[in-house]
Chain A
Amino acid sequence: AQSVSQHNHHVILSEAASLELGCNYSYGGTVNLFWYVQYPGQHLQLLLKYFSGDPLVKGIKGFEAEFIKSKFSFNLRKPSVQWSDTAEYFCAVNPSGGSYIPTFGRGTSLIVHP
């Protein structure tokens, strides 16, 4: 069974700082990868996803993620965070062609100070 690790459980940044949230998965085959975000008081929503092609994926609100197959990683990045990026971020993985049920990481809580 696959697993997903998010190494940063809590991240605190000041506005304009750069962000990188780590996500590693364990699965030997081809995967589909997702980042979801949950803003305070709101529902979980898709930030971006990778399923094939360019390993650098761009999502909403200036976020991007890079799939590095050799490192089994799908790290989320943003060059300059805003106070409104304060949220919980979840990485998820699905083996391609297999189950449609993703495995989620435990989440990273990001607080951005104005």
Chain B
Amino acid sequence: DVKVTQSSRYLVKRTGEKVFLECVQDMDHENMFWYRQDPGLGLRLIYFSYDVKMKEKGDIPEGYSVSREKKERFSLILESASTNQTSMYLCASSSDRTGAATEQYFGPGTRLTVT
């Protein structure tokens, strides 16, 4: 059974703080993703990675960076948190780089509040 875990379910940070969100998957998936989920806006892709040390910008990368030093771990970094980054952050993984039919597996999400 695929498992994607995220380091925190709830996080409260102050404006300007550096924030790290960690994601780990246990199924040796090549692809990993970070989304933010906001009411009425659905899922918006922040960054994704298809291999260790590889990363690609998604639709809304501004204000974020990522790190993938190991295959199972994908970190999202908010360099200087701002209130408009208050959101639910979802991590996902999938197994096949070229197989568009493969589904994504999601973590439970981290609800981040920036005050």
Contacts and interface: CB of A to CB of B under 8 A. Distances in A.
B20 to A, nearest CB: 20
A52 to B, nearest CB: 8
Interface of A: 9, 32, 34, 36, 42-46, 49, 51-52, 90, 94-102, 104-107
Interface residue SS majority, chain B: loop
30 contacts: A32-B101, A34-B103, A36-B104, A36-B106, A43-B4, A43-B90, A43-B107, A44-B90, A44-B92, A46-B104, A49-B103, A51-B100, A90-B42, A90-B43, A94-B100, A96-B100, A96-B101, A97-B100, A99-B100, A100-B94, A100-B96, A100-B99, A101-B58, A102-B104, A104-B43, A105-B42, A106-B40, A106-B41, A106-B42, A107-B42
B30 to A, nearest CB: 9
B67 to A, nearest CB: 19
Interface residues of B, number: 27
A-B pairs with lowest CB-CB distance, top 6: A51-B101, A106-B42, A94-B100, A44-B106, A104-B43, A32-B101
B106 A45 contact: yes
A62 to B, nearest CB: 19
B25 interface: no
Contact of A101 (B4, B48, B109): B48
Interface in B65-115: 90, 92, 94, 96-104, 106-109
Contacts of A106: 40-42
Given A34-B103, A43-B107, A95-B100, 16 more contacts: A36-B106, A43-B4, A43-B90, A44-B104, A46-B104, A49-B103, A90-B42, A90-B43, A96-B100, A96-B101, A97-B100, A100-B97, A100-B98, A100-B102, A101-B48, A102-B104
